[in-house]
Amino acid sequence: VQTLTGKVAIITGGSRGIGEGIARRLAAAGATVAITYNSSAEQAELVAKSIGEAGGTAVAVRADAADRAAVRAGITEIVRRFGRLDILVNNAGVGGVGAIDTVTDADYDRTLAVNLTGVFVASQEALRYLGDGGRIITIGSINADRIHFGGGSVYALTKAGVAGLTRALAREVSGRGITVNTVQPGPVDTDMNPADGPFAEITRPYIAAARYGTTAEVGSLVTYLAGLDAAYITGATINVDGGYAA
């Protein structure tokens, strides 16, 4: 059975939703986890505390993914604290739906800063520390490949961007024993996309599994990719979407 004991993982945006689910799964597999957050300090501390109470090791660090210096400083702080880095999960992201004629420059810039630049900078910084067996796993979205609604232009372009970045980085760092992959969730019940929200009514008919996914279902795939069993998977885009793209 594969274990992540002795590994140190950073999960960006781990205070809620999918990032929280990933952090809990990685910790249950034995990894020491550091979650970052932007605004939800209290919630992030609660997640770290609850992982600790379940027998794991977790810390929460504020690092706005839209702020290059904060991303770099956060990763440096975590590496200094635990002495190493093995796994980076780029999860922090913002959603937002709007017809193209309503997208403001500020919305566009903010979405790219968090979803795309934040991923690039965190990956760049993490690669200073990752060694043989290192892992970068980025949470993209099935909307990079399939989109069944109007108004997702900015979001989709950021998610297509990270999938391209993944392939390029995989090519660049494979010689160091590091794998780089994108996980593309379909609809997952979180604050961003509540299963009982109005958007769910539009989405549900396209989900082959006829239900929303859970954060644990994304976390289990990420945990598999983080382990040594997945050493031959790199540059891949793997869907966990209940057949949304089928």
- Smallest distance, ligand NDP to C-beta of residue 1, A: 27
Options 8-16, 129-137, 165-173, 219-227: segment touching ligand NDP (CB under 6 A): 8-16
Among 48, 65, 121, 226, binds ligand NDP (CB under 6 A): 65
Residue 161: in which H helix or E strand, if any?
Answer: helix 153-173
Element (H, E) at 34: strand 32-37
In angstroms, what is the minimal distance from the CB of 151 to ligand NDP? 15
Q: Which residues contact 104 (CB under 8 A, 6 or more apart)?
A: none
Residue 191 touches ligand NDP, criterion: CB under 6 A = yes
Which residues, in sequence order, are bridge partners of residue 37?
A: 62
Q: Based on the shown chain and the rule CB under 6 A, indicate whether residue 17 belongs to the binding site for ligand NDP.
A: yes
Binding positions for ligand NDP, 196-215, rule CB under 6 A:
none
Instruction: Work out which of 18, 31, 58, 137 binds ligand NDP, going by CB under 6 A.
Output: 18
CB 87 within 8 A of CB 8: yes
What is the CB neighbour count within 10 angstroms for residue 43?
15
42 or 172: whose CB is closer to ligand NDP? 42
Residue whose CB is less far from ligand NDP, 67 or 231: 67
- 219 touching ligand NDP, by CB under 6 A: no
Q: Which of 32, 91, 181, 239 binds ligand NDP (CB under 6 A)?
A: 91
Of residues 100-139, those binding ligand NDP (CB under 6 A): 114, 139
The dihedral formed by the CA atoms of 39, 43, 44 and 45, expressed in degrees to the nearest 10: 120
- Binding status of residue 31 toward ligand NDP by CB under 6 A: no
What are the φ/ψ torsions at residue 199 (nearest 5 degrees)? -65, -30
- Using the minimum distance from each CB to ligand NDP, give the nearer residue, 56 or 186: 186
Candidates 37, 155, 206, 244; catalytic one: 155
Judged by beta carbon, residue 32 or residue 141, the one nearer ligand NDP is: 141
* Whether residue 108 lies in the annotated active site: no
**Residue 187 CA neighbour count, 13 Å, CB half:** 24
The side-by-side arrangement of strands in the sheet containing 237-240 is 57-62, 32-37, 8-11, 87-90, 135-139, 179-185, 237-240
One of 66, 165, 178, 230 touching ligand NDP (CB under 6 A): 66
Instruction: Give least dist CB 228 to ligand NDP, A.
Output: 25
CA angle 74, 80, 83 (to 5 degrees): 125
Among 110, 115, 119, 98, which Cα is nearest to 10's?
119
Binding region for ligand NDP (CB under 6 A):
12-19, 36-40, 64-66, 91-95, 114, 139, 141, 185, 187-188, 190-193
